[in-house]
């Protein structure tokens, strides 16, 4: 080979600076076969000395991090500077660097900063989120909260803390200004033989107490009675059935709830100004669906009958817009709507958790779709009727300038630069919950049924998330895996209690309760039935847990077919629990006028 040819190799370590002395190009050393041997030897010794210095510096930095004051576990991970250095070194490395190094006899050793797996990356993301002041519930930490190294594992009772935190951070109805339009939405529950149930009555009593105890502060402009759906779980009843396999119900859940609510207010002397407060009852018995369908009907009612009127009542304010030196005047008016969602505690927790973890499938998404600019895209006069389009329509309502233009500015006021009228809507919501009535009873059997039923209902956020995974619209949430594991352990403890001496009394009490109350349950005529159904539900829940464990522990991916199997087992487990463990029953006629349980 002629002496003018040369082989190039990079002698610097992956994390060192490979640029030349002028800082512009890579420092590549020419090792010629002809009279360049001395230069190559000097360059090689110089490169090895730099490598030794870099290694010593890295070891010293590791020791300093290990002995540092940090106690949150961050020292076990490389610093951001070393990661950035390794990333930059890999970006600057030429494609033939590795082969050149192999030819030279020096096999490249992997850099410590490039050997992280998915688990390490996830831990670093968690620490970054924690350092920014956010907790697992999605709420920003208050300045008075003491930081902990890492949040504890998710428990199935953290949902209530998240709900209370949402009310505290976003504010309840009493935190809104006087121009806010308040809307109360009470969620129904399927009737039993066309009768309001104990749990449904607890939700309606919560609304009545708001109007009675806090009077006259809380006076909503609209009260909506929504039909009770089966939720996201399978096997639930809808507004068109009584959830017992009988023919369609004679009345809707919302209609029965409205009648009971009126009777309750009359019994407790709760005055409602019908001239100020309107009522809307979802009396479509064939609509069915879940909570999202109910909220879509509420949003549709607002669009068709109320928002248009509320916009007309709002004053116009003038705003000057400028773009590239050109200015124009816009008249705007805005309606702020605050929804107070009324239901039992576990139900509102599910709504809040699904909204935080699966926003696309959130039951509250129809309320979000009300936000933004609304109106018509054609030029109209102010004297003409204001045309309000449906949810999701985003444009401005313009006013033609000229004779009959109404509120348009005159030429002296800059009418030639008038940009029209903008109508905007903003929405917010808070939660008003009533306590689930079957956890504090005197009978152990009723408390047992209530505990099992709540565990099945608290799987709803996981069910929504897994359906999104199967449909390939969402990623699997790690918090939902921890939730599944926690709920399964709790359900195992409850089922094991049935095999103790006290468990025999519980089984006998369950049979007695459903025989006397003629409630929703159909599978407790024999002593062994409830055990068989619960053990079958546990088996399905265990299979679901095993199938999603690789994704939950971030060990490996899960095939699409496995996700479908896991979803099937989860739906079967929730359906069995809901069918056999719901202790709800028709409200006793003697309790109709009572404001408290």
Paired with 250 in beta bridges are none
> For every residue of 213-271, which 3-state class applies, written as one string?
HCCCCCCCCEEEEECCCCCCCCCCCCCCCCCCCCCCCCCCHHHHHHHHHHHHHHHCCCC
- How many other CB atoms sit within 10 Å of the CB of residue 395? 15
Please state whether the predicted TM-score (pTM) of the whole model is above 0.85: no
pLDDT given for residue 178 in this prediction: 82
Q: What is the DSSP string of 5-18?
A: -EEEE--S-TTS--
Cα–Cα distance, 414 to 421 (Å, whole number): 15
Q: Is 182:276 a contact under the CB 8 Å cutoff?
A: no
Q: Which residues of the chain have pLDDT under 50?
A: 1-37, 39, 69-115, 133-155, 233-247, 376-415
pLDDT given for residue 525 in this prediction: 55
Cα–Cα distance, 357 to 178 (Å, whole number): 32
Nearest to 159 by CA among 483, 570, 492, 519: 483
Q: Which of the 8 DSSP states describes residue 138?
A: S
pLDDT given for residue 17 in this prediction: 46
pLDDT given for residue 390 in this prediction: 42
User: Tell me: the pLDDT tens digits for 183-231?
Assistant: 999 999 999 889 999 999 999 999 999 888 765 578 899 999 998 765 5
Q: Which of the 8 DSSP states describes residue 416?
A: G
pLDDT given for residue 338 in this prediction: 94
Q: Is 228:237 a contact under the CB 8 Å cutoff?
A: yes
Cα–Cα distance, 17 to 23 (Å, whole number): 9
């Amino acid at each position: 080979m002629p002496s003018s040819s040369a082989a190039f190799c990079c002698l610097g370590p992956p994390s060192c600076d490979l640029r030349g002395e002028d800082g512009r190009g890579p420092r590549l050393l020419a090792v010629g076969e002809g009279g360049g041997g001395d230069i190559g030897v000097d360059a090689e010794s110089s490169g090895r000395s730099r490598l030794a210095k870099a290694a010593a510096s890295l070891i010293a930095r590791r020791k300093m991090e290990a002995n540092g004051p940090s106690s949150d576990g961050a020292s076990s991970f490389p610093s951001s500077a070393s990661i950035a250095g390794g990333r930059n070194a890999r970006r600057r490395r030429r494609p033939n660097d590795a082969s050149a190094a192999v030819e030279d006899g020096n096999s490249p050793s992997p850099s410590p900063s490039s050997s992280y797996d998915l688990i390490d990356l996830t831990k670093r993301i968690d620490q970054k989120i924690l350092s920014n002041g956010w907790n697992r519930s999605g709420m920003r930490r208050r300045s008075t909260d003491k930081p902990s190294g890492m949040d504890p594992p998710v428990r199935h009772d953290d949902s209530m803390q998240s709900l209370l935190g949402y009310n505290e951070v976003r504010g309840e109805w009493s935190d809104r200004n006087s121009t806010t339009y308040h809307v109360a939405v009470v969620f129904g529950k399927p009737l039993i033989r066309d009768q309001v149930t104990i749990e449904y009555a607890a939700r309606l009593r919560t609304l009545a107490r708001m109007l009675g105890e806090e009077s006259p502060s809380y006076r909503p402009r609209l009260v909506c009675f929504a039909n009770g759906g089966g939720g996201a779980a399978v096997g639930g009843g809808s507004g068109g059935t009584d959830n017992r396999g009988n023919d369609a119900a004679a009345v809707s859940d919302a209609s029965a709830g409205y009648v009971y609510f009126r009777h309750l207010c009359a019994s407790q002397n709760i005055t409602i100004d019908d001239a100020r407060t309107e009522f809307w009852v979802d009396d479509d018995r064939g609509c069915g669906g879940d909570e999202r369908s109910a909220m879509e009907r509420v949003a549709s009612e607002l669009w068709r009958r109320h928002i248009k009127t509320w916009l007309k009542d709002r004053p116009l304010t003038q705003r000057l817009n400028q773009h590239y030196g050109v200015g124009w005047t816009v008249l705007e008016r805005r309606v702020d709507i605050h929804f107070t969602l009324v239901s039992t505690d576990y139900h509102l927790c599910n709504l809040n958790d699904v909204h935080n973890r699966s926003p696309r499938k959130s039951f509250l998404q129809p309320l979000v779709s009300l936000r933004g600019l609304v109106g018509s895209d054609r030029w109209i006069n102010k004297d003409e009727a204001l045309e309000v389009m449906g949810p999701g329509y985003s444009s401005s309502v313009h006013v033609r300038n000229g004779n009959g233009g109404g509120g348009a500015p005159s030429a002296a006021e800059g009418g030639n630069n008038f940009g029209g009228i903008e109508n905007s809507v903003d929405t917010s919501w808070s939660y008003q919950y009533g306590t689930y009535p079957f956890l504090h009873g005197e009978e152990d059997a009723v408390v047992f049924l209530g505990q099992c039923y709540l565990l099945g209902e608290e799987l709803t956020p996981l069910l929504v998330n897994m359906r999104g995974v199967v449909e390939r619209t969402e990623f699997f949430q790690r918090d939902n895996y921890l939730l599944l594991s926690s709920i399964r352990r709790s359900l195992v403890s409850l089922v094991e209690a049935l095999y103790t001496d006290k468990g025999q009394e519980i089984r006998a009490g369950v049979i007695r309760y459903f025989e006397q109350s003629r409630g929703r349950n159909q599978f407790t005529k024999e002593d062994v039935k409830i055990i068989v159904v619960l053990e079958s539900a546990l088996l399905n829940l265990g299979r679901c847990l095993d199938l999603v464990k690789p994704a939950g522990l971030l060990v490996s991916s899960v095939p699409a077919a496995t996700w479908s199997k896991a979803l099937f087992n989860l739906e079967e487990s929730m359906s069995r629990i809901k069918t056999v463990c719901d202790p709800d029953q028709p409200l006793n006629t003697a309790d109709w006028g009572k404001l408290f349980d």
